[in-house]
Structures are given as structure tokens and as C-alpha cells.
Structure 1
Amino acid sequence: MDTRRLRFLLELSRLGSMRAVADVLRTSTSTVSQQISLLAQELGTDLVSPVGRGVRLTPAGTRLAEHAAAILAAVHRAQLDLDPTAAPAGTVRVAGFSTAIRRAVLPVVRELAETHPRVSLEIHQHEPAEALAKLSADQVDVAITYDYDLAPMPRQPEWATLHLWSTPWSLGVPEHTLDPRALATAAPLAAYRDSAWIGNSRNRADEDALRIVASVAGFPLQITHAADSLDLVEDLILAGMGVGLLPSDRPHRPGVALLPLRAPGVNLRTFLQLREGRDSWPALALVRDRIAAHTATINSAQQTPVLG
């Protein structure tokens, strides 16, 4: 199959008419029709069918068009891999959880717009398992994931993994339930053993970490609610519906108190992951390095004491 012909099919699926495709690709309508016909002959199946004066994609054409964008992007990246000295250019696809996108990716987008305008980012919000599935399927180039030191994510040899930062987490509880006497005990979590607990609706690692903490404290955990938004976790806590994990360094709303987790502590670890060897593509290497440099600056600033 001549992959160059996929561009004609992809644009037809987007634009709906061969005339529009011809205008975009700066060619003739007959050339568009010929290239799609040749592609159909190569595959041995009809890709378009006539409708009035125009055409529409057949089911087979629709399925192929869905794959075309990924195929053409992969071919483009492969061509760039053959020339690692080329100036960075192209679209790097990044999947990650919302906090990481805001903290590490969006600042890089703004920076690249000024320093490397030929490099752009395509951003997808996903929890770690979802992001890694897309990385495995070559639907993204970078996955920014997290796990907890108490519940580490299995490492796959095909991923190149870079640690970005770690964040201690606490148990968020309604402020009016926080008993100072409980904080002085060896197992302050035991005061919440009968509470409803809030897990993550899209990532099992949160629940695993909570169950380990509860087990060490000596009680079984009952996960009642599930949310994938920290704001919603706070809403549930404020409504008196339960308790749940919150990052210790995140400003929280009045009425929510953070109970430090010790012995064991809970630390969320953030990673940047990509396919081993793919950083030979200059655009991808640039994005990786800029994300790493940006997070290193933030980490250094947070560790520097404020004098005065």
C-alpha cells in the first residue's frame, strides 16, 4: 500500500468532497479521484461510493480513514528518525493527568511557541493506565503518569522512564472532625476507621495506597465513593460524605483539614515515559528535555528556604 495516498482519503473523510480535498492539497479533482481509486485497487475493496454528484466513504473507507492519521504520523516520525540532526519540527502527542499537564506541559507549550514555533504539542488528559495504553498503541508519543511509593506501578522494559517529581499526600478530612488528641497517637487514622472513604474512579493505585495505609493502622478500609477530580474529593469531604487522599502541597478550601500520613507516609511519584529509542526524533527529545528542565526548576524553588 502506498501510504502517500492515505492523505487523500484522510482529507476526504474530513472535508466531505473531492473538490475541497483538491483545493486543500492544491491539485485537481481528477487526481484526488485517481489516487483514491488506486488505493482501493491496492487493498482490493471499495473505499468510496457515489451519492448524487459527490461520493461518501464506504464502511471500509471509514475504517481506513480512522487509521490514516496515525499511519501518516508514524511515517513522518520514522523519516525524521533517519535524520536526528534535523531541526526539531512536528507535533508531539502528550497524554497525562490534569495536574501534570497544568504544572509541566502547558508552560512548555508557551515556551516552545517562542523558541521553536515548528514544534507543537497535542494534549490528551488521561489517568496513568489510559495514557500508557495509548503509548503502547502508538497513539501518543509521551505519557506522564504517576504512582505511589506504597503501590508502585510495574515498570516495562520498552518504556524509557524519567522521574519528574514526588509529592507527599495527606488524608483530607472535615475540619470539625479533626481531634488534636488523635494526632498525638501512633495511629491517627484509626479515628476515621468507620468513615466512608473516597477512591479514584479511574486509577486503582489510589485505592491500593489507601488500603495499605489502613492495613498498617489496623483496620479494614471501606471505599464508598469514587472521583477523578481533587476538587470533587474536597466537595465530598466538605459535604461530610467521607475522607480521601489529597496532596499536602495543594491549597485546600476552608473546612478541609489535612491529616499527615506517617509510618507509612504516602508519596505520589510523577514520571515521564516514552518508547525506548524514540528520543532520536529531535522534536520529542526537545519536549522531553524542556518538561524535565521546567519541573527541575519548580522542584528547586520549592526546596529553597525563604529568607527574611
Structure 2
Amino acid sequence: MIDLRRLHVLRAVEHYGTVTAAARALHLTTSAASQQVRQLARELGVDLLEPKGRGVRLTVAAQSLLTHADAIQARWERAELDLRADHADPAGLLRVSGFPTAVSVLLAPAAARLRERHPRLVLRIQESEVPESFDLLFEGETDLAVVETTPRNPPPGDARFDQQPLLDDPFDLVVPDTHRLAGLRRIGLAEAAREDWIAPVESSPCRPHVLSACGAAGFTPDVVHHARDWNATAHLVALGLGVALVPRLAHLAPHLPVTRVRCTGDPHRKILTCTRAGGRERPAVAAALEQLRELAATAVA
């Protein structure tokens, strides 16, 4: 019979890309993680890892095994749900995570509502960037994540995760109050093609959206400043150092002399909710999703 602990190590190797990274995430030594995979291979009588350069990669047999492993994990989530079927009222611990804006605008208000409506439910919120949220879900350290789509996300069909759309978050052009574009209700981005620009840092998941929106408008922005935080971006705009595309969910300091101008062409980012496969039906998760959908309905009006 397969040792499920060893199977989990193999799943971690696939998720993190190397035995070393998987071992670190599972709080094992690299040697111990390698030994777990070797023992699993001996039990099954197949090779699970093969050399690739200085590292290793999963064999075809390992990939096939992981398809079943992901299904086992999903069935286990549903088995836990069945065991608690007589306790339909949300209760116990619910761990949620999300990127900073999602915490501020969605998860924190949802937690406050859930505390009032389901007093037996205990929420724990963790701010985390998108890749970390998927890691936390995989490791079982969070139950529900709010993420934005990025090229590095697992594909929508990844059997380990249940990813569902929550809302589209439009980008607005943010300019100083005294700017020539500030009085317009809506503009095409091409009208800002000759401006100095402030863009998200290279590692930001919003950077590709900003560059893509400008590209769709027919120009490459002249980026003179980079910022990670949206309010830092707004301060730079307020001082006349450039213009920027900022998601509507991002709340900017109200005292800043900046104006949001809506854009034609609908530049936006997609916000998703994500659970482990089989976890969405848990009463606590379902209650949190209901609150998030209610908040999302009015969040970007």
C-alpha cells in the first residue's frame, strides 16, 4: 500500500520544482525528502525521478501517479466534508489569504461580516502575494485565497486547485488634479502616450497588465519611476512626476491632489477565488465565498 506521506513529498517536488525546495517547504532535509521519493519508487517498482542537467525531473510514471494523487487529495477534502455533514453551520477555524489590496477591500470586510453572522467561526487572515497564496493552499496552511491572474499562476485546469472568477478590476489613469486630462470622463490611453509614466516594479503581477494596456493603445510607455505600493505611485503622480494606471480596487489616500480618469478599451485585471480541489463546499468556505461575492458586486462601481 502506498505511504501517503511519501506521495505528498512527490507532490511537493512537482509543485516547487526541485527536491531541495520541496524539502524546505515540508521542513525536511533534502536527503530525507530524496529518501522518501526513493522509497516510494521502490514500493511501486518504477522510476519517479530522472536526471536533468545538474538536477532531476519527474518521469512519465511520476506524472501519471500525480494525476491520481491530486484526485486522492480532492477526495480527502470531500471526505472531511462528509464527516462534518451534520454540522452545516459554519464553525471552527477558517484561514484565508490574499494580496494586499484584496485583504483591505475584500477579505477584511468579509471577516467582519462573518464574525457577526457566524459567531462560531474563527477567521485568520494572512497577507500574501499570489505565488505564496498557491503555496499556502498546496501546503494546507490556508483554506481560501483571493488571487489575481498572472502568467505564473497554475493553469485553470490544474487539478490541485479550484479557481473561480470573482470580479474584473478595471485600471484607471491617475493624473494630477491640474493635468490637462483630469477633466475628462473617459479617455483612450493613446492620449497619454507622450507622458512620463510610473509603473509597477518588475516583480509586480500588475506590471504586465499596464504594459499590455499601453501596447494595445499603440505605444510603449516611457517609464521613469517604479513603485510597489499604489499609494507610493499616487504620491509620485501628485507631485507631477508622471501618470499611472492604477486598479480601481486600490484605495488611494484621499488628501492627494490626483484624479482617476476611466479608460476606453477596458484595461483590467481578473481577481479569482481559489481553494484546494474539493474544499469549496465546506460550510465555512462557502460562507466566506458568499460574503466575497456580495462585496465584489459593488467594489468597483
TM-score, normalised on structure 2? 0.61
1:210 aligns with 2:206: no
- Whether the 8 Å CA contact 2:77–2:277 is kept in 1: the answer is no
Q: State the 1:93 CA deviation.
A: 0.9
Give the Cα separation in 1 of the matches to 2:124 and 2:140: 14
Give runs of aligned pairs for residues 21-170 of structure 1, distance below 5 A: 79=80, 82-87=83-88, 88-147=90-149, 154-158=155-159, 159-170=161-172
- Whether the 8 Å CA contact 1:178–1:257 is kept in 2: the answer is no
Q: Secondary structure at the match of 1:178?
A: coil
Letter in 2 for 1:187: A
Runs of 4+ that moved beyond 6 A: 75-78, 180-186
Across the aligned residues of Structure 1 and Structure 2, the Cα RMSD in angstroms comes to: 3.6
Q: Residues 125-146 of structure 1: CA distance to partner in whole angstroms, max 9, x if unpaired?
A: 1232332232223221111012
Letter in 1 for 2:158: P
Give runs of aligned pairs for residues 226-245 of structure 1, distance below 5 A: 226-245=226-245
Give the Cα separation in 1 of the matches to 2:189 and 2:271: 29
Letter in 1 for 2:262: P
Equivalent residue, structure 2, for 1:7: none
Equivalent residue, structure 2, for 1:225: 225
- Whether the 8 Å CA contact 1:84–1:282 is kept in 2: the answer is no
- Whether the 8 Å CA contact 2:163–2:272 is kept in 1: the answer is yes
1:191 aligns with 2:194: yes
Give the Cα separation in 1 of the matches to 2:268 and 2:142: 27
Letter in 2 for 1:279: R
Letter in 2 for 1:210: V
* Pair 110,214 (structure 1): closer, same or farther in 2 beyond 3 Å: closer
Equivalent residue, structure 2, for 1:286: 287
Q: State the 1:196 CA deviation.
A: 3.7
* Pair 242,294 (structure 1): closer, same or farther in 2 beyond 3 Å: closer
Q: State the 1:246 CA deviation.
A: 1.9
Return the index of the structure with the highest Cα Rg. 1
Give the Cα separation in 2 of the matches to 1:181 and 1:94: 40
Range that drifts further, 176-185 or 122-131? 176-185
Number of residue pairs aligned between Structure 1 and Structure 2? 224
Give the Cα separation in 1 of the matches to 2:94 and 2:116: 16
Give the Cα separation in 1 of the matches to 2:103 and 2:135: 18
Equivalent residue, structure 1, for 2:278: 277
Give the Cα separation in 2 of the matches to 1:117 and 1:160: 27
Gaps of 5+ in 1: 1-62, 65-74, 304-308
Q: Secondary structure at the match of 2:225?
A: strand
Share of identical aligned residues, percent?
25
Q: Secondary structure at the match of 1:187?
A: helix
Q: Residues 175-215 of structure 1: CA distance to partner in whole angstroms, max 9, x if unpaired?
A: 334258998778212232xx1422146523x2111212222
Q: State the 1:108 CA deviation.
A: 2.9
- Whether the 8 Å CA contact 1:81–1:280 is kept in 2: the answer is no
Q: State the 1:124 CA deviation.
A: 0.9
TM-score, normalised on structure 1? 0.60
Q: Secondary structure at the match of 1:176?
A: coil
Letter in 1 for 2:260: L
Equivalent residue, structure 1, for 2:269: 268
Give the Cα separation in 1 of the matches to 2:122 and 2:286: 13
- Whether the 8 Å CA contact 1:199–1:223 is kept in 2: the answer is no
Q: Secondary structure at the match of 2:199?
A: strand
Q: Secondary structure at the match of 1:278?
A: coil
Give the Cα separation in 1 of the matches to 2:290 and 2:119: 16
Q: Secondary structure at the match of 1:191?
A: coil
